[in-house]
Amino acid sequence: MSAVHVPAGSSPDGYVRTPSGVLLPVDIDPFHRRLHHIAPSGLIGQTTQTTGMQRLEAISGKTVGATNLWMGQTHVPAATASANHHHGESETAIYVVSGTPVFVFVDLDGGQPIETRIQTAPGDYVFVPPFIPHREENPDPDVEAVVVIARTTQEAIVVNVNTLDWAEVHADGDAASR
């Protein structure tokens, strides 16, 4: 969307003049008028957590006013596995920064459900579709695994579950899935 030049003294309907003098459509709120920079020291841990890992929030509705995106980091200590969980209706994209995390889920596409392990390394990407129960494991005895996560909702949806078998997954959003 481009800025609109309007001669001095005129004010078209549906626009607002910013402090710098640029006219923008009135439906663009202040959060969406500039870029936001979040340094590593600005990551926050006040987001839903899962045992065995730490999530740090960078981009979200509460940090920058995002309406369709959540982004942050997850840290899994050496020789640790997270608890089982899913992310509700969020699609999740993962980029492996360091370590060799393993992503575990139950593959339902064969003749029998089978627990499947995806071994990753720095530079790899993983896509987690909505509602799929999974867990992260870090088999390395010395190196913490760090990944960058992007989700299609403005807040981090995390639903902790007991198993990977889909028994506790409810796509309709009822209380059993929270």
Q: Which of the residue ranges 17-21, 43-47, 64-68, 79-83 would you say has the lowest mean pLDDT?
A: 17-21
Cα of 147 vs its chain's centroid, Å: 11
Residues 102 and 120: beta-carbon distance below 8 Å = yes
Residues 166 and 115: beta-carbon distance below 8 Å = no
47 and 108 share a domain?
yes
Q: Which of 149, 97, 147 is nearest to 128 (CA)?
A: 149
Instruction: State how far the Cα of 88 lies from the Cα of 100, in Å rounded to an integer.
Output: 25
62 and 121 share a domain?
yes
What pLDDT is stored for residue 140 in this prediction? 97
Instruction: State how far the Cα of 38 lies from the Cα of 104, in Å rounded to an integer.
Output: 30
106 and 67 share a domain?
yes
What pLDDT is stored for residue 27 in this prediction? 75
68 and 10 share a domain?
no
23 and 102 share a domain?
no
pLDDT band at 32 (very low <50, low <70, confident <90, very high): low
100 and 141 share a domain?
yes
Task: With a cut of 70, say whether residue 173 has pLDDT above it.
Answer: no
Look up residue 37 and give its DSSP letter: -
19 and 46 share a domain?
no
Instruction: State how far the Cα of 167 lies from the Cα of 22, in Å rounded to an integer.
Output: 54
Residue 144: CATH number of its domain: 2.60.120.10
Integer CA distances (angstroms), 18 to 8, 28, 69, 161, in order: 14, 11, 26, 47
Give the domain extent around 11: 1-34
Q: What are phi and psi of 146, to 5 degrees?
A: -125, 130
Task: With a cut of 90, say whether residue 10 has pLDDT above it.
Answer: no
- For the chain, what is the domain count? 2
